[in-house]
Structure 1
Amino acid sequence: MSDSRNENENNNNGSWGLPAGMDPMKVMQVASGYWQSCVLHAANRLDIFNLLDEQAKDLDTLTKETDSDRRCLGALLSALVSMEFLDRDGDVFSNNTFSKTFLTTSSKFYQGGIVYMFENWYEAWGGLYNTVKTGTPSALMHQEYTDKETRDYMMGMHNRALSQADVLTSMIDLSGKKLLMDIGCGPSTFSIKFCERYDGLNAIAMDREQNLKIAQEIVDEYQFNDRVELRAGDYNSDDLGSRNDAMLLSSMTNQESPEKLKLLLKRCYDSMTKDGVIMIQEQLLWPDKKGPQLAALIGVNQVINTIGGSSYSTAEMEAILSEVGFVDITSRQMAPPSPFIMVSGYKR
């Protein structure tokens, strides 16, 4: 029997009458992109990758363990194999190196919490057309999530931040700094890692109370209770202090409108000591706003989930920092595979 896997590679677009290099399948691939994400969401919720963490299993065993329909589960598993999340030998399925690294809870690089986060946003994204027409978000990012949803998201952010923190903390010198204010700290991973790197540094990590419940567990695990203070609050209205000599805003500036972001950064400036440094770690657009794609899509996510949120370009972020008083402003791409840019500036 012939193998058709490589037939498309041998076809010449010219036989379709298409311009050279043009692939009509791109339209279908993008239009059906949610098929792939839904397959991953379902597998994650069914706990497929954890069930295969220790050993390979056949379809019948997985059907029983997931309490699923055999035919439907078989289709899902075949899709996972085709997407290179699983390996198979006949009807026996196993994790591959990728899924074992990123999709099993036994791995320190586990990203299943992030998968749950995107699944939670799925319904809201279905309302994008109406959002664009009306200007009304189809969901609000600051809605109350269940404890499980919060834990899944926060632990996913923590696991991702662990390797990213090593890069971030090496990009700027906080020697001699005494107090870091971590605005919208999430799991507090970056506060912990900065304090771990700099012996004389303490941190105040501010976020919503629901998020700090998980952050407290992480601070306890790293035994940094004496140096990382968790503070529940609203960074747009609550007091930021007056003695911060370092401030970190990570993955939260694009939730704010340009007006609110400018006010926040001015409040940060006013709360800082002379020679204090501000660090903004964010996925930002290029100056011409033609990409990168992920930063542009984050802008769409802010349209869906926030009132006024936006994707900012590096040039826009630098301009706002300059306008509120910061100097010596630089933007640097973080080391691959991180998609983040770190923008820094100083209060002189």
Structure 2
Amino acid sequence: MAVTIKDIAKRANVATSTVSRVIQDSPKISEATKARVRKEMKALGYEPNFSAQSLANKMTQSIGIIMPDADVAIFQNPFFLESIRGISELANEKNFTMAIVTARTDEELLDRVKMMTRANRVDGFIILYSKSEDPVVDYLHNEKIPYTVIGKPQQYVNETTHVDNDNFQAGKDVTQYLIELGHKYIAYVGADVSRTVHKERVRGYREALHDAVLYADDSYILDSSFTNADLDSLFTLPTRPTAIIVGDDMYALPLQTMLSQMGFSLPEDCSLVSFNNLRIAEMLNPPLTSVDIDIFTLGYQAAKSLIEKILDPKEMTKHILVPHRIVERASSQRKTMENTTA
């Protein structure tokens, strides 16, 4: 006769509901109780039937991962790959599967999310971006579908579980780092202010310059579609920058190439500091000083929070901040008289 959870419950002296929660690794069950129940499961050779359990609980044990768009560049960006790796790590621990959701327009994305929820294909979603007036967020919130956001949400902030860095502080910290190296004219290149993360970092950048009573003009800020002509305009200002903050490591490679073509040596003529600390940062020449935002943990914590909400709809809303740190490499250096201009 096959072993059932009733057999496990009897041997472990717990309720059958407790055994079910242990199988789901519910945070509501103590580690001591989990250890006792798992010991009896192992002793009896019990293998949980996750498919049957999902049907009984009307759960799919699958989560949807909503990407910003379907452009090939998104899937080539290590930020998204690393955050999905963190999500996958936790999903595997909890015996959940994942489904990627992409589209080229907001309307198409909303239609796909609606289709997945109405067909009961997933139990909830992780949104890998944050922007204002998002119809997908409106839909999930109004339909009371579990979701978490990586980034600071722009809608229903107090009601939305999200995992983020303190991007305002990160922008401020990296600017202060360059100021401490003696730089007074600091540009910001690759500022995609349509995204909350970049908007907050630029706000921190401006605050740090303001606090230090340094120059903070819009001519020193270029968006993510910057060109050679834009850089040429930046470096022909009456006082050119001696340091640049780059919005993302992925922008640093073309930026380094452009600066080299313009005849600038790095970091002698211009220091560079970027964000995300992707592997490419170590491979650039010179290696790139970058802010490590612990992307893996962002994904892991987002998945953990979502699955906790799925297993217990009464789970409280969480706002989780993942620490950041500056990883110093050869692309930044103290400003000397030789690289002082104007």
TM range (shorter): 0.3 to 0.5
**Structure 2 length-normalised TM:** 0.39
**Structure whose CA Rg is larger:** 2
Give the TM-score, by structure 1 length.
Answer: 0.39
